[in-house]
Amino acid sequence: MEKFDLNILGTGSALPTTRFNPTSQVVNFRDNLFMIDCGEGAQTQLRKMQLKFSRLSHIFLSHLHGDHCFGLMGLISTLGLLDRTGELVVHAHPDAEKVFRPLLDYFCAELPYKVIFNPIAPQKHELILEERSLRVYSIPLKHRVPTCGFLFEEKPRPRHIIREMTDFYQVPVRDMNRLKDGADFVREDGTVIPNDNLTRPAEPTRKYAYCSDTTYHKSIVPIIEGVDLLFHEATFLEKEKARAKQTMHSTALQAAKIAQAAQVKKLVIGHFSARYNDLNVLLEEAKTIFPETVLAEEAKCYPI
């Protein structure tokens, strides 16, 4: 099966600590890298995980809080030092270009490549990026500033040809692509050979959803329903529910409730508050509702 992995660069929340890096992730889809958020130190973590800078072409910023975007300028500068020539696309709130373009003009005036800002509307669920085998959608979240998550969805793959059957029915080569797309085969005498007799179903498509930062927000459930892997912030324990509501973050229990309602296959929780020395308390709380929960661990790869 083609590569589709989640690489965790940083799992911390707003307050810097020596234990956690600020939020950042990389989705590796068929050796093409897509970064989600870019907190300070993201480029150092890329090196530690031996992810190739040259494979990174798109960066998605969930919102413009510093712990999610202060690493962007350093990464852009480093890519210039590495003589990058291919364009880099930053998908973010329209204000992102207003914030970063003056800094680029001042610090990176002679970049050998283009930085393109693609404005997105965080309040909408819509298609942001479409490539040959992948689609990326926004997921409206509820935070103190306009914020969205991201849904990475593998496109359906073609059906598998059953060679002995196509040989038996003497299917011409010109019809093979139609069979892969699900069409029946019609012989010259008008006989219809059902597609199921000639092909096998393709492997199920895979989906990954990223939801950080957000208060408990049940409206996202239909968008993320059935995903193979869900990352959902779990900044606080349920006993700090009032603090979570005030700062518009989620508790571990609330993250688990979202995963349960959406019937996802696996939940990864992260964006941890610096107040917790033992993260297992967050994990155990989430697992009371959704047993298929794991902690986000920095420098770890999670297959999707």
Nearest 10 degrees: Cα torsion 296, 301, 303, 304: 50
For residues 221 and 261, the answer to whether their CB atoms sit within 8 Å is yes
For residues 9 and 297, the answer to whether their CB atoms sit within 8 Å is no
State both tokens at 287. 């697992």
For residues 130 and 152, the answer to whether their CB atoms sit within 8 Å is no
Q: Which residue has the tokens 């393109």?
A: 116
Greatest CA separation found in the chain? Answer: 75
For residues 39 and 68, the answer to whether their CB atoms sit within 8 Å is yes
Catalytic residue among 31, 37, 67, 189: 67
* Dist. CA 236–CA 245, nearest whole Å: 10
* Dist. CA 252–CA 234, nearest whole Å: 4
* Residue 189 annotated as catalytic: no
Q: Which residue has the tokens 């324990």?
A: 237
Inter-helix orientation angle 280-287/252-262, to 10°: 40
* Dist. CA 143–CA 150, nearest whole Å: 15
* Dist. CA 118–CA 261, nearest whole Å: 32
Inter-helix orientation angle 95-107/72-81, to 10°: 40
**Catalytic residue positions, numbered:** 67
